[in-house]
Amino acid sequence: MPKKPEDAIRPEIRALNGYTVPHSDGMVKLDAMENPYVLPAELRARLGRLVEQAALNRYPDLPAAALKGDLKRVLQVPDGMELVLGNGSDELIQMVCMAAGGQGGVLSVEPTFVMFRMIATFAGTRYVGVDLRDDFSLDIERTLAAIERERPGVVIITYPNNPTGNLFDAGLVERIVEAAPGIVLLDEAYHAFASDSFMSRLPRHPNLLVMRTLSKLGLAGIRLGVLAGHAAVIQELGKVRLPYNINTLTQVVAREMLQHINVLTEQAGTIKLERSRLLEALRGIPGVTAYPSDANFILFRTSQAERVFDGLKQRGVLIRSLHGSHRLLADCLRVTVGTPDENAAFLSALKQTLAA
Ligand code: PMP
């Protein structure tokens, strides 16, 4: 019997700082890569009627074949490829780490999405991070050497990468896919804002999985992640999926929204236009270095990033500070592209903070 109940928790779990979400009530919220636009009233009313009719006394549809069919069509999943769905793509990352991490563990390039390391730890598997180059491009020699040395069960590459916003060179990603002894999970969470995807290349690579989420497209609240891959791998991953992980409300809303996907892709188009304006505005501010982005956020560097982050917060604008999270991110901040008004509020608060 442990002395205290919490002593029973695995040491590597006790050593973690859990994923926390800062208080944001009443603030201009530009910290979480959400789509800032709400749905048209008519569409919301239609969703309301569908939810009203949903059979909530029954377990959700399993295997959610209708939803998967709609997703394959809308996401242009190549013929013959299969899907497994997750309660957000976070859950899919967990499924892949649990099922395939094994002895070799999980390898990713850094800086990247912090949950990869955390989820590998939850899954009780090893995690190895390989640094990107100073310009956030892939260090291919170092990455291939690490793959050869560590023989990871899973390599995770984010395309485009969070928090740096860039798309890696596709040819280099292909070399990693070819060299990896196990699965390569290509996380395309920001696909809606990106100029390239590996989805159409999926049939050529039996060890590749392409992951998408509806979160950044405007449906973060329904929690739906999609993993596409070859049937043999998807079938195995399906074994670690908890039964009924995609609830009925998510299925109903997702199916309807996939019929109206143009509403969301048009919003994504507006966000991309705003991204160009925001990037240009940031680049015009002395002392700010803003990096190019294929996602719905922009990474920028400025001296005294912590002070700038706090100054923005005091002025009612919440972004994300990455200072201290990785050697390559010293003095870096990340801002989500919001509505024109939100972006203007951010830029004005930033200028005031820098002048203070
Ligand atoms: N992958 C990346 C790269 C992300 O940035 C995020 C969320 N910030 C996720 C996955 C998780 O998204 P979700 O669980 O909402 O699908």
Residue 292 maps to a domain: yes
Which residue's alpha carbon is nearest to atom 12 within ligand 1?
A: 89
Whether residue 72 is found in the same domain as residue 221: yes
Tens digits of per-residue pLDDT, 187-215?
A: 999 999 999 999 999 999 999 999 999 99
- What is the 34 CA–ligand 1 centroid distance (Å)? 10
79 and 170: one domain?
yes
CA atoms of 263 and 75, how far apart (whole Å): 15
Q: What is the domain extent for residue 109?
A: 58-260
CA of 273 to the centre of ligand 1 (A): 22
The answer to the question of residue 51 being in a domain is no
Q: Where is the domain boundary, 240, 260, 280?
A: 260
Mutate which of 71, 90, 214 to test ligand 1's pocket (most atoms within 8 Å of Cβ)?
90
Looking at the domain assignment, is residue 45 inside a domain?
no
Would you say residue 46 lies in a domain?
A: no
Q: How confident is the model at residue 103 (pLDDT cuts 50, 70, 90)?
A: confident
- Residue 1: what pLDDT? 59
Percentage of the chain with pLDDT > 90? Answer: 97
250, 56 contact by CB (below 8 A):
no
For residues 100 and 190, state if they share a domain. yes
By most ligand atoms within 8 Å of CB, the mutation choice from 110, 113, 226, 297 for ligand 1 is 113
Nearest CA to ligand 1 atom 1: 189
Based on the domain organization, do 301 and 156 belong to the same domain? Answer: no
CATH number reported for the structural domain that contains residue 287 in this entry: 3.90.1150.10
CA of 67 from ligand 1 middle (Å) equals: 20
Instruction: Please state the length of the chain.
Output: 356
- Measured from CB, residues less than 6 Å from any atom of ligand 1 are 33, 88-90, 113, 158, 162, 187, 189, 213, 215, 220, 225
Report the CATH number at residue 176. 3.40.640.10
Smallest Cα–Cα separation from 21: which of 11, 9, 12, 34?
Answer: 34
Contact 337, 274 (CB under 8 A): yes
Domain for residue 218, yes or no?
A: yes
> Separation of 90 CA from ligand 1 center, angstroms?
6
- Report percent pLDDT > 70 for the chain: 99
Residues 195 and 333 placed together within one structural domain of the fold: no
What confidence tens digit (pLDDT) does each residue in 31-57 have?
A: 999 999 999 999 999 999 999 999 999
pTM to 2 decimals? 0.97
Q: Answer yes or no: do 227 and 268 share one domain.
A: no
Local confidence band at 19 (pLDDT 50, 70, 90 cut-offs): confident
* 18: confidence class by pLDDT, cuts 50, 70, 90: confident
Give the end of a domain, one of 200, 235, 260: 260
Note whether 73 and 9 are same-domain residues: no
Compute the average pLDDT of residues 253-257. Answer: 98
Does 53 fall in a domain? no
Q: How many domains does the chain have?
A: 2
Q: What is the pLDDT of residues 52-97, one digit of tens each?
A: 999 999 999 999 999 999 999 999 999 999 999 999 999 999 999 9
Residues 17 and 163 in one domain: no
199-218: burial string, b at 16+ Cβ within 10 Å, e else: bebbeebebbbbbbbbbbbb
- Which of 213, 219, 245 has most ligand 1 atoms within 8 Å of its beta carbon, as the pocket-test mutant? 213
Q: What is the pLDDT of residue 2?
A: 61
The predicted-structure confidence for 152-162, as pLDDT tens digits, reads as follows: 999 999 999 99
Which of 213, 236, 260 is a domain's end point?
260
Q: Same structural domain for residues 20 and 146?
A: no
- Considering the domain boundaries, does residue 47 fall inside one? no
What value does the mean pLDDT take over residues 333-349? 98
pLDDT of residue 226: 98
Q: Which pLDDT score, from 0 to 100, does residue 165 have?
A: 98
Residues 77 and 214 grouped into a single domain: yes
Specify whether 23 is located in the same domain as 82: no
pLDDT in tens, 117-135: 999 999 999 999 999 999 9
Q: Which of 230, 85, 207 shows the shortest CA–CA distance to 154?
A: 207
For 276-298, the pLDDT digits (tens) are: 999 999 999 999 999 999 999 99
158 lies in the same domain as 226: yes
